[in-house]
Amino acid sequence: MTCRIGVAGVNGRMGRVLVEATVQNTESTLGAAFVRRGSAVIGQDAGLVAGVGALNCLVRDDLAAACTDFDVLIDFTSIDATLSHLDICRSAGRAMVIGTTGFSSTQKALLQVAAREIPIVFAPNMSIGVNVLQRVLAQTAALLGEGYDVEIIEAHHRHKVDAPSGTALRLGEIVARAYGRDLAEVAVYGREGHTGARDAKTIGFSTIRGGDVVGDHTVLFAGIGERIELTHKASSRMTFAQGAVRAARWLKDQPPGLYDMTDVLGLK
């Protein structure tokens, strides 16, 4: 059955592409579109805001009053906005696909609590390629075993507000788990000055910010005499948006719980 999607932050970089992906998909429709209070685009046609032509769906700022207009809310906004939307969706019994990144572990715990009552897909990267990469990464780490230094390098556009990216952190968690390490104990975020020799157990993160880079991630396994580099490059936000719409369609029929894209894609 058709999934009626609500899009939060419809005037954002991801919000606009999410509208396009929603209407491109034959099994979803745009049920509602939201922005923050006071936004200049309230009352405008969401399709015109997104640049896809009129859709007869007006942009609103009253999520709580419009929850019956959608089955699943897709939210790629900011941490504060997403947590406020979470409260509203939980009260209204509406499912959520959350793509916002940068949550602390305390904030992630709030998602887990809400997921006892509503179905939630939460993933720092909704592209199919990155989720396949995660699977390949766990296998690579297991096959290589100890003896390889792991470094994660990510690049994003100049507007990104959190670092390292949620995807880089997820990749780090996967490697740490494969080696039986705790990422919180072994992560090294950037290096400067007299650092001393590299500790073999560490997992290093390097962040690049500039221009319009949509999202590049490389996991480097550096051994003696060889190295493996696993790289994913996103060239369009549409890959995240299509993944999010696919997640929404899947989520509509799920019981309450906290899911990620490996559940949606059947990669578990």
Ligand X SMILES: NC(=O)c1ccc[n+]([C@@H]2O[C@H](COP(=O)([O-])OP(=O)(O)OC[C@H]3O[C@@H](n4cnc5c(N)ncnc54)[C@H](OP(=O)(O)O)[C@@H]3O)[C@@H](O)[C@H]2O)c1
- Which residue ranges make up the site for ligand X (CB under 6 A)? 8-9, 11-15, 35-36, 39, 76-78, 80-81, 99-102, 123-126, 240
Shortest Å distance, C-beta 235 to ligand X: 13
> What is the distance of C-alpha 49 from the center of its chain?
23
CB of 114 to ligand X, least distance (A): 17
- Cβ pair 41, 33 in contact under 8 A: no
Closer CB to ligand X, 115 or 186, in the complex: 115
C-alpha 7/C-alpha 10 separation (Å) is 6
Among residues 85, 156, 217, 252, the one annotated as catalytic is 156
Q: Which residue is closest to ligand X by CB?
A: 12
Contact 77, 56 (CB under 8 A): no
* Residue number, 28 or 125, with CB nearest to ligand X: 125
Structure token pair of residue 189: 């975020």
Minimum distance from residue 125 beta carbon to ligand X (Å): 4
Nearer to ligand X, 59 or 178 (CB): 59
What crossing angle do the helices spanning 238-251 and 128-144 adopt, rounded to 10°? 90
**Lookup: tokens for 6:** 């609500």
Q: Cβ of residue 34: shortest distance to ligand X, in angstroms?
A: 6
DSSP 17-75: HHHHHHHHSTTEEEEEEE--TT-TTTTSBHHHHHTS---S-BEES-GGG-GGG-SEEEE
Give the residue with the Cβ less far from ligand X, 74 or 186. 74
Q: CA–CA separation, 189 vs 209, rounded Å?
A: 15
268 carries an active-site annotation: no
**Residue 145 in contact with residue 122, Cβ under 8 Å?**
no
Query: What is the token pair recorded at 154?
Result: 């990510």
CB 224 within 8 A of CB 136: no
Residue in 108, 159, 160, 252 annotated catalytic: 160
Instruction: Pick the closest to residue 4 from 25, 13, 15, 12 (CA basis).
Output: 25
- Residue 201 falls in the annotated catalytic set: no
Between 37 and 194, whose beta carbon lies closer to ligand X? 37
> What's the closest the beta carbon of residue 90 comes to ligand X, in angstroms?
17
Which residues are catalytic, by number? 156, 160
